[in-house]
Structures are given as C-alpha cells and as structure tokens.
Amino acid sequence: MFAGIVEEMGAVKSLEKTLAGTRLTILAKIVMDDLPIGASISVNGTCLTVVKRDDKEFTVDVSPETMAVTNLGKLSAGSPVNLERAMKLNERIGGHLVAGHVDGVGTVRGRKQDSNAIVLTFEAPLDVLRYCISKGSITVDGVSLTINEVTGRSFSVMVIPHTAKMTTLGLKQQGDTVNLESDLIGKYVERLLQERGQLPPKPEIVIDQDYLQKRGLI
C-alpha cells in the first residue's frame, strides 16, 4: 500500500524484453535506503517487487498483465520515473490510500498555466472516470492528486510547483500517457451497493478489436 507521495524521480537504466518476460532496472538514491529484495515499490504508480539491488539501482520483473494495462512498456533508458516505497502504518498519510494497481492508461489532452500551478487535463477510460468526482482523489503516475473537474471523457487536476519539480508531471506534454488508479473507496462502495441490489452490476468487458488494441495485444 502507498500514499501517492513520490519520494524521488529515478531514471530507467534498462528495459529488457525477452521470451522469459520483461525486466526493468532503475537508478535511484533516496528509495535505496530500506529497500530489501522482495519489497514492494511503486514505479509510476505501478506496484512492483524488487528482485535484485545494489547501492545505486534496483531491478523488478514486470508481468505480461502489467505490461498490457500500464504504460511501462514505453519506457526506455534515461526515462524519468516516479518512485515511492510502501508506506508504514505508523506514519502520516499525506495523500490517500493507493494500492499500486493501475486501472487504465490516460492521455494528456491539455496543459495550461494558472498562476503558479499547471492545469493538466487527461482523457481517461470510462472504467476510471466512473469513480472520478470533483474534489475526489486520483493517482496519476503514482502521484496523489485532487480532481478539479470531470467531464464525460476527461478530468483535470492542478499541479503545484513542488509537485511539478519533484515528479514527472512537470514534464508531461499533450499526447503523453499516464498510469491511472481510481480511489479505492469508490470501488468498494460500488461493490457493496451492487451486492445489495441498489446499483446495476458493472457492465461486462467486451473483448473486441478496440479493447485488444488499447492493451497492445494486436
């Protein structure tokens, strides 16, 4: 479990894709302290397990499912990534409860300056937007943010100067992709109401050409 408070920006050293799977090696500094093999770490909002490490870098294996539902496959050597170690229960939660289980990939559709903040607008899948509410929480590439506005196809957030400097969000431009995770609480509330018959069941996934293309399967 994470809080969506990025500890540092690391840099991709290598992304190796083989028949045996995908292995990602990341250069980092701050998170290397108290990061044993087997530990969970959030990389751009994706919960991964450390399988190898030394003083300056760590390596994680990325499953085919994770490659299909996130944008990690687009990383290359030198790409900056947001890093956060699993949170401790005896510390303050500065953001919100984040599982590191990406719900879908969004796309930057707008970027503008508003005083000292950057307003980013993201086009998002309906499975993500259904849990978005004004002033609610969402995780964008591992960063806990507050939603300002929601439309039928997108949502917008304000990125303060500190967040822009300390995370990859300050580098995002129109057309870039991001990993999105909806607020956990909304998912549980929906499920409970469905079980009680107070909400219609969630629509079944239709596996068509569009579904397969979005997940890089064709």
Domains in the chain: boundaries: 8-85, 104-195
CATH number for the region 104-195 comes to 2.40.30.20
Band of the pLDDT at 196, cuts 50, 70, 90?
confident
Round to whole Å and give the CA distance between 171 and 167.
8
Pair of tokens at residue 103: 């719900």
- pLDDT value of residue 202: 62
Pair of tokens at residue 170: 């300050």
Please list, in sequence order, all residues whose beta carbon lies within 8 angstroms of the beta carbon of residue 138, skipping any fewer than 6 positions away.
Answer: 128, 132, 144, 145, 147, 155, 157, 180, 181, 182, 183
| pLDDT tens string 138-164 | 999 999 999 999 999 999 999 999 999
For the 8-85 domain, the top CATH level (class) is: mainly beta
Q: Is 0.85 surpassed by the pTM of this model?
A: yes
Same fold: 8-85 with 104-195: yes
CA of 112: how far to CAs of 13, 82, 171, in Å?
31, 22, 13
Cβ atoms of 4 and 97 within 8 Å: the answer is: no
Average pLDDT, the chain: 91
